[in-house]
Amino acid sequence: MRTRLMVGAAVMMTAPVFAQDNPPIVQRPVTTERIVRPAGNPELYEVGINGIVYVDWKLVATMASAPRGHPQQAVAQMMLAVRDGKSKDLSERR
């Protein structure tokens, strides 16, 4: 037991010597990014504190039929497909 303790201490004491051969760590400045929801894109769903997902189905239907290229159109179409039972597992596609 004593031998293991001494070997462990010897190994731990030699580790800092090897660490000194490496170049020093350079600290870089950190920037904080704030993510803001773009104006004009209403929330299609909201996750409550209790984990329940609340969906605005009228808005989802409106966004799914929106002109092509709307940022939330694909998400709205996916949500309608899941609701209507038209979705399948991706592994079934192959």
- Phi, psi (rounded to 5 degrees) for 78: -65, -45
Within the chain, which residues score under 70 in pLDDT?
Answer: 7, 9, 11-24, 33-41, 94
The pLDDT score that the predictor gives to residue 33 is 67
Instruction: State the pTM of this model.
Output: 0.51
In whole angstroms, give the CA distance from residue 90 to residue 87: 9
In whole angstroms, give the CA distance from residue 66 to residue 59: 10
